[in-house]
Amino acid sequence: MRSRLKRRKGLVGIEAAIVMIAFIIVAAALAFVTLNMGMFTTQRAKEVMSRGLGEASSALEIDGSAIGITNSSGNVINVSIPIKIAPGRESVDLRPEKVTISLIAGDTSYADVHAGVYVLNNNGNSWTLVNAVNTSETKSISSAGSYPSVKQIAEALNKTGPAAAVVFIKTLHNDTVLEFGEKAIVIVFLGSSSGLEPYDSLTVEIRPPEGAPLTIQRSMPPILPPDSVVDLG
């Protein structure tokens, strides 16, 4: 009788151990699923936040002061804006198909005036501007071997305003993609009839394929000497 009770107690103990092990295995599986879902959700949230920050911040930033060029009447007809890649961003393709440049000059707005991407090349005693898309289009700059000024670059391009052109003044690959370490300027051509007078305002919006647009707003100084270069800040 006692041996039967002992065997019965042993069986009950084994059954209880099996049930406990089963509960532990199920709990471990549930814990793994929960942790895995939590990690997946955290990763997705991180990606969404990163994407949101990328869209909220611009991939481009100003790299110095904007420069205004006046004509013989003292009106600003060209404005040069230096740009570069913002910290933490990789590259931006500046072709007109990828980037739009819009203007508000005084009381007149222009939706998209992007007129091309050019690369400044040194040819020994002279400089040339080469269209980065259509390399057969070249424009010469006579600067006696010295680095050309913004005014000389604008005169060589000779765009009919309103228009805007991107000029790479420091490039690594001679293409249309602005990368870290490269420098470019956006030259705005307003035209003689659309030139800005003292106290007039200019707003330039450069909208890349991804991220927020880069917006530059400048007011013309009260004194604009004719045929000169003016620092717009």
Find the DSSP H helices in the chain: 2-56, 150-157
Give yes or no: residues 45 and 73 share one domain: no
**Could you give the number of structural domains in the chain?**
2
Query: What is the reported pTM?
Result: 0.74
Tokens of 30: 């549930």
List pLDDT tens digits, range 199-228.
999 999 999 988 889 999 999 999 999 999
Say if CB 73 and CB 226 are below 8 A apart. yes
Q: What percent of the chain has pLDDT over 70?
A: 74
Give yes or no: residues 11 and 103 share one domain: no
The residue among 40, 56, 72 that closes a domain is: 56
Give yes or no: residues 161 and 198 share one domain: yes
Mean pLDDT across 183-189: 95
What DSSP line would sit under 54-81, residue for residue? HHHS-SEEE-S--EEEE-TTS-EEEEEE
List pLDDT tens digits, range 103-160.
999 888 998 999 999 999 887 778 999 999 998 899 888 766 678 889 899 999 989 8
Least confident of 10-14, 102-106, 118-122, 166-170: 10-14
pLDDT for the residue 122: 84
The residue among 17, 33, 56 that closes a domain is: 56
In whole angstroms, give the CA distance from residue 160 to residue 157. Answer: 9
Give yes or no: residues 110 and 13 share one domain: no
127 C-beta neighbours (distance < 10 Å), count: 21
Is the pLDDT at 59 greater than 70? The verdict is yes
Give yes or no: residues 104 and 129 share one domain: yes
Range of the domain at 18: 1-56
Give yes or no: residues 122 and 135 share one domain: yes
Give yes or no: residues 161 and 219 share one domain: yes
Give yes or no: residues 139 and 94 share one domain: yes
Give yes or no: residues 16 and 81 share one domain: no
Tokens of 183: 């420098």
Give yes or no: residues 43 and 91 share one domain: no
Say if CB 189 and CB 78 are below 8 A apart. yes
Tokens of 116: 């091309």
Residue 14: pLDDT band (50, 70, 90) is: low
Mean pLDDT across 185-189: 96
For the chain, give percent helix, strand, coil, nearest 5. Answer: 25, 35, 40
